[in-house]
Amino acid sequence: MNKAFLVARHEYVETVRTKAFWLGILAFPVIISLAIGIPMLLDKTKDVRKYAVIDQSGFLWQEIETRIYLEDVRNVILASRDKRKKGGEAFDRLPEVVRRLTLAWMALGEDSQDAFVSRLGGQRSGSATRAGQEALWDPETDAAEFLASGNGDQLFAWWRDTPIDDMSDLDIDLARRQFLVVEVPEERRSAEELNRMVADEQLFAYFVIGQDPVAGSEGSKYVSNNLTDRKLVNWLRGLASGVVREHRIASESIDASVARWIQEPLRFEARKVGDEGTEEEVEAEDTARQWAPTAFTYLLWISIFTGAQMLLTSTIEEKSARIMEVLVSSVSHFELMAGKVAGVAAAGLTVVGSWAVFIFLAVIAVPILVGAPSLGFIGQIIADPGFLLAFMVYFVLGYLLYASLLVGVGSVCTSIKDAQGLMMPIMIPMMIPIFAMVPVSQDPNGLFARVMSFIPPFTPFVMMNRAAGPPELWEYVATTLLLIGAIYLTMVGAARVFRIGILMTGKPPKLMEIIRWLRIDPAVNPSTMEEDS
């Protein structure tokens, strides 16, 4: 089979010289970089909505600001807790006061955590954020010490004074990234002045809080020229309503804890069942894990299709350039076909392998070498060796199946145009796994997904798609065996068509004619398989 190797090497070298090959290698890093880079860029350049507030009540705005602060503190704690859980340096890079805050919060029971945060608000404003102050409090905790030793002020100073760009390095998103309040000097707080600022786009909007917001909405208004983007008004209205509600509860002498209990929504905590059948917490990775197979399936489809297409093109080129006959006078039909299939497979694996190297560099090596933050959990999912292994295996198997079909098609056609007609019956089954992608990933172990896995042309894509399930081992084994059997049959069929097809010129044969060829026993060709002895 030395000759088949020569053909394969030739095919590989010629493929590597084509533009399509290099486009294939480059396309993936470019697409991934854009997919990750563009949202980041958009995020960075996103306009901050600037707004002003005229508070005629004299108290409401100050309490709203406290709530903004507390909301940010909660987000800071959650982000920082995730870093702590994940381990590594990310947590150590946080400011000391944030680290202490997080550790103190984590040491508390779920009931006390909210109270602790509310107290931070109370400390800051000196006034009542009542719910927190009345909650049970154990002075022996870290949290109590945190509050007692003046860390609350330090935290507030950090929150108030740190430029937003420094915070973004810590992956902590604060409200003021989106909505920034502008202090308007006393002398300019007239309606005309503010209207002018809105018209000049110095302000996105301004709020006027009426004289007695607790009594009703009279005198409160929101002025903006952008009436479609309602995020700012919704956000601030939510906060203001909360404050007003608290005041109303207090004025009606309803016990704060009762009021809180009445307002407490029912939460369903998302859990999943782990490998040992125990419940586990759901983390961001888990969501990505459901999503990653879909991306891999699509990638797999593109790689297989590109590889098989390359083979089709090169077969037709050899036919239209009239090189086939010289080749088959030197090597057997089978060696020629096997060499071509293997050569293009090697080129395809080179492309896919280069992607793997790129992922490895981007996800693992770069953060280690440069110390830059990694691509995060998405990157870690992609770098999961299980996914990559399955991807490689299904690439090779799927490629072999479709390559043998397309090499058969290529062998009977003299031009790409001829091929298009015959490609239809192959393209349609190839499209089905793409259409089935969403239903399969929603129910990876459902009946539909299982049935699809056992249809060989769909097996690579559907099994890849189901990886989040994941399917049971016997399913992997059974579908793969079935797929290998199908590959063997298509290879034998393709070899029969190839043998007759490559020396044909002119109009491609009808499908019925090709089916007739499939029935021709290769025994007529006794020595095809045993040359070069």
Partner 1 sequence: MENAIELENVVKSFGAKVAVDGLSLKVPCGCIYGFLGPNGAGKTTTLRMVLGIFYPDAGRISVLGQSDPASVKERIGYLPEERGLYEKMRVVDLMAYFGQLKGMSSGSARKRALDLLEQYGLGEWADKKCQALSKGMAQKAQILATLIHEPELIILDEPFSGLDPINRDLMRDMILQLKREGGSVIFSTHIMEQAEQICDRVLLINDGRKVLDGELSDVRSRAGKEIRLDYDGDGDFLHGLPGVARVNDSGKQAELFMEEDADPQAVLAALVAAGVRVRRFDLRELSLHEIFIRAVGGAKAAAGDTAGVGEMQGEGKDHE
Query: Contact positions toward partner 1, by CB under 8 A?
Result: 3, 6-7, 10, 14, 17, 318, 321-323, 325-332, 503, 505, 524-528, 531, 533
Please state the closest distance from residue 362 (CB atom) to partner 1, in A. Answer: 33
Please state the closest distance from residue 532 (CB atom) to partner 1, in A. Answer: 8
Please state the closest distance from residue 332 (CB atom) to partner 1, in A. Answer: 6
Local structure of residue 470 (DSSP, 8 states): P
Please state the closest distance from residue 270 (CB atom) to partner 1, in A. Answer: 57
Please state the closest distance from residue 328 (CB atom) to partner 1, in A. Answer: 5
> Which residue, 327, 309, 310, is CA-closest to 318?
327
Nearer to partner 1, 21 or 116 (CB): 21
Evaluate whether 57 touches 210 at the Cβ level (below 8 Å): yes
Per the DSSP assignment, residues forming a β-bridge with 206 are 52, 223
Please state the closest distance from residue 310 (CB atom) to partner 1, in A. Answer: 14
How many residues does the structure list for the chain? Answer: 533
Per the DSSP assignment, residues forming a β-bridge with 51 are 181, 205
- Which 3 state secondary structure label does DSSP give 55? strand
Evaluate whether 279 touches 427 at the Cβ level (below 8 Å): no
Cα–Cα dist 294/299, whole Å? 9
Nearer to partner 1, 132 or 509 (CB): 509
Nearer to partner 1, 72 or 318 (CB): 318
Q: Summarize the chain as % helix, strand, coil (round to 5).
A: 70, 5, 25
Angle at 496 between CA 492 and CA 498, to 5 degrees: 110
Please state the closest distance from residue 526 (CB atom) to partner 1, in A. Answer: 7
Nearer to partner 1, 303 or 309 (CB): 309
Reading the block at residue 80, the tokens are 């920082």
Reading the block at residue 302, the tokens are 């593109």
Nearer to partner 1, 213 or 339 (CB): 339
Cα–Cα dist 520/500, whole Å? 10
Cα–Cα dist 397/389, whole Å? 12
Nearer to partner 1, 321 or 368 (CB): 321
Nearer to partner 1, 8 or 120 (CB): 8
> Which residue, 337, 387, 379, is CA-closest to 360?
379
Q: Say how many C-beta atoms besides its own lie within 10 A of residue 99's C-beta.
A: 16
Please state the closest distance from residue 525 (CB atom) to partner 1, in A. Answer: 5
Nearer to partner 1, 332 or 479 (CB): 332
